[in-house]
């Protein structure tokens, strides 16, 4: 098994064959300046857990940091990312909210969709209102955070 992940100037690789690993490292060092780490506990916001039967990726630390950043670490949990009777529209008469804060939350939630596809629909629905977010839209994004809090072990 060969695993190579490249992201801009970050690269990780994993091999279960020591000679192939040494060969790959020699080839890379011939071209690039790099440092070697043994086990990789954390990479680009992803927690990496290496076990004998597989490698597991998680963003649970990111969830908790996100809840803390938006002062929702003590919020109640929710069982779904979007209310079943949710009808989101422009809400032209709704109260305006800080669009920068709203966009930051949407961006953070979009990053989470890499490991939590269950929130993709809800996040993309909320992202439609980034140009003129209202209190109802912000409330919908907070519900996604409540859902994440209730499902941190998923």
Per-residue pLDDT of the chain (154 residues), as tens digits, is 566 656 557 777 777 788 888 888 888 888 888 777 777 788 777 888 878 888 788 888 888 999 999 999 999 999 999 988 878 999 999 999 999 999 999 999 999 998 899 999 999 999 999 999 999 999 999 999 999 998 876 6
**Nearest 5°: phi and psi at 116?**
-125, 75
Residues 48, 69: Cα–Cα separation, whole Å: 23
What is residue 33's predicted lDDT score, i.e. its pLDDT? Answer: 82
Of the candidates 47, 61, 43, 58, the residue with the CA atom closest to the CA atom of residue 6: 43
pLDDT of residue 25: 84
Q: State residue 43's pLDDT score.
A: 78
116: closest CA among 74, 51, 60?
60
Across 110-123, b (16+ Cβ under 10 Å) vs e yields ebbbebbeebeebb
What residues does each domain of the chain span? 2-58, 60-150
pTM of this structure = 0.76
């Amino acid at each position: 098994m060969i695993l190579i992940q490249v992201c801009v100037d970050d690269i990780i690789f994993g091999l279960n064959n020591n000679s192939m690993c040494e060969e790959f490292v020699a080839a890379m060092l011939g071209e690039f300046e790099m440092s070697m780490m043994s086990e990789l506990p954390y990479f680009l916001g992803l927690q990496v857990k290496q076990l004998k039967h597989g490698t597991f990726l998680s963003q649970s630390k990111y969830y908790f940091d996100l809840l803390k950043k938006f002062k929702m670490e003590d919020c109640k949990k929710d069982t779904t990312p979007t209310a079943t009777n949710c009808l989101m529209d422009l809400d032209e008469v709704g109260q305006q909210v800080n669009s920068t804060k709203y966009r930051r939350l949407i961006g953070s939630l979009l990053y989470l969709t890499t490991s939590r596809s269950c929130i993709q629909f809800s996040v993309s629905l909320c992202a439609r209102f980034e140009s003129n977010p209202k209190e109802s839209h912000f409330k919908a994004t907070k519900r996604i955070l409540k859902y994440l809090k209730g499902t941190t072990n998923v």
